[in-house]
Amino acid sequence: MSVKTWWLVLLCGFGLAWPALAQEEEAPKEPPAAEEKTTIAEPAPPKSGLEDPALHKWGGWTLSLAGWSPTLVGAEEEVATFESVGVNQPLYQESDASIKETVRILYHIPHDAGTIVLHYDAMDHEDELQNLLPGQFVFSETRGFPVLLGAFDDGLADGVVSTATRRTREFRLEYQKKAFDSRWAKGTWSAGYRQLSHSRLLGITYYAIVPNLPPIIPPVDLPPGFDPDSLIPVPDGVSQTSNFSGHGLGASLDVEFPVHPRVSIVSGLSIGLIRGTSESKFSATSSFYSLIPTPDVPLTKDELFELLSNPQPPAGDGEPYVPQIGDLLQTTLQANLNSTTASQMAQSYDAYIGVQVIAYKGLRVFATIRDVSYINVGEYIVPKPGPTNEKTALNAGYEGYTVGISYRF
Amino acid sequence: MRNAWPITAAALSLAVVLAVGCDSTQPSHSSAHVASLTINASADVLLWDCYEVWTDQSNPPDGNPDRFENSFCELSTEPGQRSIPWNYSLRITVIRAGTTTEEVVTSVSGVVGSSIQPDDRVDDFISLTDYDIRVSAAAPKPPLDNIYYLNGQRVGPGSPVYLNANTFSLGTPNILTASPAFVFDVTSGDTIVVRARKQSLSQMAQFLPQDPDPNLLLVATMSVDGSEVVPAGSSASGKEDGSGFTFSFVVP
C-alpha cells in the first residue's frame, strides 16, 4: 500500500475518533442534600444511549456498506521482456486501483440466538498497457507460442499492447455468535458457506511497427492488384483466459477492543477452503513471410530483404523459378489449447484492522485496512513445442483501506 | 462538545476530498522540434576535361581565336567520387507518439512529403539530387590547326559544365519540389520513417558511363533542430540499379 493511502487511513481514523473522544459525557445530577442525615441510595447510572437497539420480536437487521480501493497484488502478468543496458527486464501488466463495494446483511435471530450473515465482495480490474518503441526491436515475445515469433522470426517486437481483466466474486452465508464479551474485548465467531469465482483474461499484441523493410515504391514494378500494404508485418497475438468457480466452507473471528464508549479498535480474520473447477484457454498467432509457390517455407530475413531490395526479372520458359515481389505473402500460424481441471482446491484469507465509531444509536462508521488473498484460484496452461504443456497456478490478492457505515434496526 | 455529528461528517468529507483530489501525477510534456532531410547521390567516376572550342577566323590566321564554336569534353584518367544528379522517389511519414499508424508529413511550406501518393500532384521521380560543383583545372590542350581549346576545366559527369557541353538538361535539384532540404515539424516521441529509391538507369538521361561500374549510391542525411541524427535502418541505398533505403528515427 502506498504512503498516501496509509496517511489517508490515519486521517480517517483520527477524523472519526477525535470528535467522539472530545465529546463530554453528561454528568449525573447530584441529588439534593437532605436536611436530615438519612441514607440516600446511589442513583442508577444513566444509560449512555449508545447501545444497539433491542431486538424486536422478529429479530433485527444490520445493513453494512463499505467502499474500498483495493490494489491488486500477486497477479502481475509479465507480457514481455525488454533489453535495457544489456539486461532483459520484465514488463508487467500492472493494475490501477478503483473503488469497490463490500455489502454485509446481518439478520439477528430473536432471543440472541445468533446472527445470519450475508457477505458479498466484487473486485474488478481492467487495465491496459502500451509500450511502443517504433524501430527499436527490444521487446522479447515471452508469452507467445515459441515458433516463428517476431516480424523476422527472431522473437523480437518494437511495440507491446496488452489488456487484462481480473475479476473476483465472493459470497459468504455464515452463522455468527458471540465468542466472548469482557470489559477489554468483544469477540464473535462465524462459520458457513462460501462461494468463490475468479476469472482472468489477458490479451497481448506484439507489433513490428517500423520493420524498415526495403521500400516497395517505384521504380519497383508491382503486378496489377498487388497491395504493398500486404507486406506490413502482421502483429503476433496471445490470448490467455482462466475461469475458476467453486464453493466450500469458511470461518471467521472478529474482535472489538473498546477504547472509549464510542470508539473501538476492530480487527478480524477469515479463512475459507473452496473446491472448484478451472477452465483455461490459450491462443496464439504468429506469421512468417513466404512465397506463393512454397507457402509453408519461411523466408529468412536476408532472403526477404534481398528480394525487396533487388527484384529480378521473372524466369523465362523452362528456366528455374526466380522469386518475385508479387509472390510474397504472409502465412499465419495458430496455436490453441483448452483445458478443464476436474477439481482444484482454493484458499481465501481475509484480515482487517481499523477504527469504529458509534456515531448514533445503531449507526457505526468504520475505517479499516484490509488484505484479502486468494490462493490457487485458477491456472494458466501454455502449450510448448513437444509433448508437454506448462501449467501455472494463479493467485490474487487485494489490499486497501475501507470506509463504511453500518446501521442496525 | 455535545454533538459530534458535524465534526465527524466534516472529517470524513475532508478525507474523501483528499483521496479524490490528491494526484501527484505530472501532466505529460511534449516538445516541438524541426526535422530537416537532404538526399544526395554519389558515384565512382572518371573525371572529364572540358574545353571551350574556339576558331581563328582571321584570313590569314593571326593566332587569335575569334569565334566560339562549342564545348568539348574528353575523358581524363583521374578517378574520383563525385556528386551525381539523379532522380529518385521519396516518401516521408511519421508515426505519432503512442500510435502505430503512419501518416505522410507535410513540410513547413505546405509540400506533401511523398511523390508516390495518388494525390500528391507530382511526378514519382520529381526529386533530383544536387549537381557536382567541384571544378579543377584541366590539362592544357594544344591547338589543332586553327582550332583552339580554351578555359579547360576538369569536372565530374555530374557537373553542369559537362552536362551542358553534352546537351543534357536534367532539371533543378529539389527534394519533393522543396530546396535545399525538406523541413517539417515533429514532436517528441514521434517516429520519422523515410523511404526512397533511385530511378532506374534506363529511365535516366544516359550521361553516366556504366563502365566501369559507377557504384551509384543514394544517401540521406537527417537532422533534428540542426543536429545530425543517427537513424535505425539504412540511410544509404545499394549500388544496384533502382535500389533504395528505409530508415526510421524516434524524436527524443
- Predicted confidence at residue A87, as pLDDT, reads 87
Residue A329 · residue A290 · CB < 8 Å: yes
Residue of B nearest to A402 (CA): B16
Portion 74-133 of A in contact with B at CB < 8 A: 130, 132-133
- Predicted confidence at residue A17, as pLDDT, reads 47
Q: Does A308 touch chain B (CB under 8 A)?
A: no
Residue B131 scores a pLDDT above 70: yes
A139 or B12, higher pLDDT: A139
Structural Rg of chain B based on CA atoms: 30
Residues from chain B that touch A160, judged by Cβ atoms under 8 A, are none
Q: What cell does B61 get?
A: 590566321
The residues of chain A scoring below 70 in pLDDT are 1-50
The ipTM of this complex is: 0.79
Check CB contact under 8 Å for A218 and B116: yes
The contacts of residue A103 (CB under 8 Å, 6+ apart) are A64, A65, A118, A119, A120
Check CB contact under 8 Å for A218 and B246: no
Residue B150 scores a pLDDT above 80: yes
Task: State how far the Cα of A270 lies from the Cα of A196, in Å rounded to an integer.
Answer: 14
Closest CA to A148 of A330, A324, A387, A392: A330
Partner-chain residue, chosen from B1, B91, B193, that has the shortest CB–CB distance to A217: B91
Partner-chain residue, chosen from B22, B100, B247, that has the shortest CB–CB distance to A207: B100
- Predicted confidence at residue B17, as pLDDT, reads 44
Residue B58 scores a pLDDT above 50: yes
Mean pLDDT in chain B? Answer: 87
Closest CA to A123 of A105, A103, A145, A150: A103
Question: A137, A212, A366, A405: which to substitute to probe chain B, counting the most B Cβ within 10 Å?
Answer: A212
- Greatest CA span in chain B, whole angstroms? 135
CA distances from residue A238 to A144, A284, A288, A302, B98 in whole angstroms, order as listed:
6, 4, 16, 27, 21
Check CB contact under 8 Å for B197 and A220: yes
Task: State how far the Cα of B249 lies from the Cα of B233, in Å rounded to an integer.
Answer: 9
Residue B43's pLDDT band, with cuts at 50, 70 and 90, is very high
Question: A217, A232, A364: which to substitute to probe chain B, counting the most B Cβ within 10 Å?
Answer: A217
Check CB contact under 8 Å for A215 and B196: yes
- Predicted confidence at residue B151, as pLDDT, reads 92
pLDDT-above-90 percentage for chain B: 71
End-to-end CA distance of chain B: 61
Portion 201-240 of B in contact with A at CB < 8 A: 203, 232-234, 238, 240
Lowest mean pLDDT among A253-257, A286-290, B11-15, B20-24: B20-24
B166 exposed, middle or buried (CB, 10 Å; 0-12, 13-18, 19+)? middle
Question: How many angstroms away from the CA of A357 is the closest CA of chain B?
Answer: 10
Closest CA to A220 of B192, B200, B72: B200
pLDDT-above-70 percentage for chain A: 88
Residue B166 · residue B209 · CB < 8 Å: no
- Predicted confidence at residue B23, as pLDDT, reads 45
CB atoms within 10 A of CB A81: 17
The contacts of residue A171 (CB under 8 Å, 6+ apart) are A118, A119, A120, A194, A195, A196
Tens of pLDDT, residues A345-372: 999 999 999 999 998 888 999 999 999 9
- What pTM does this model have? 0.80
- Predicted confidence at residue A174, as pLDDT, reads 96
Phi, psi of B232, deg, nearest 5: -90, 150
Q: Helix %, strand %, coil % for chain B, to 5?
A: 10, 40, 45
- Predicted confidence at residue A48, as pLDDT, reads 57
Partner-chain residue, chosen from B4, B196, B197, that has the shortest CB–CB distance to A23: B4
Check CB contact under 8 Å for A309 and B243: yes
Question: A50, A71, A309: which to substitute to probe chain B, counting the most B Cβ within 10 Å?
Answer: A309
- Predicted confidence at residue B10, as pLDDT, reads 46
Task: State how far the Cα of B232 lies from the Cα of B235, in Å rounded to an integer.
Answer: 8
Q: How many CA atoms lie within 13 A of B198 on its CB side?
A: 29
Task: Judge if the upstream peptide bond of residue A219 is cis by omega within 30 degrees of 0.
Answer: yes
Q: Rounded mean pLDDT of B31-59?
A: 93
Task: State how far the Cα of B226 lies from the Cα of B220, in Å rounded to an integer.
Answer: 15
Instruction: Work out the angle at residue B165's Cα, subtended by the Cα atoms of residues B162 and B168, and round it to the nearest 5 degrees.
Output: 80
Partner-chain residue, chosen from B3, B8, B24, that has the shortest CB–CB distance to A16: B8
DSSP states of A16-70 as a string? HHHHHHHPPPPPPPPPPPPSS----PPPPPPP-S-SPPPPBTTBEEEEEEEEE-P
Check CB contact under 8 Å for A220 and B245: no
- Predicted confidence at residue A270, as pLDDT, reads 96
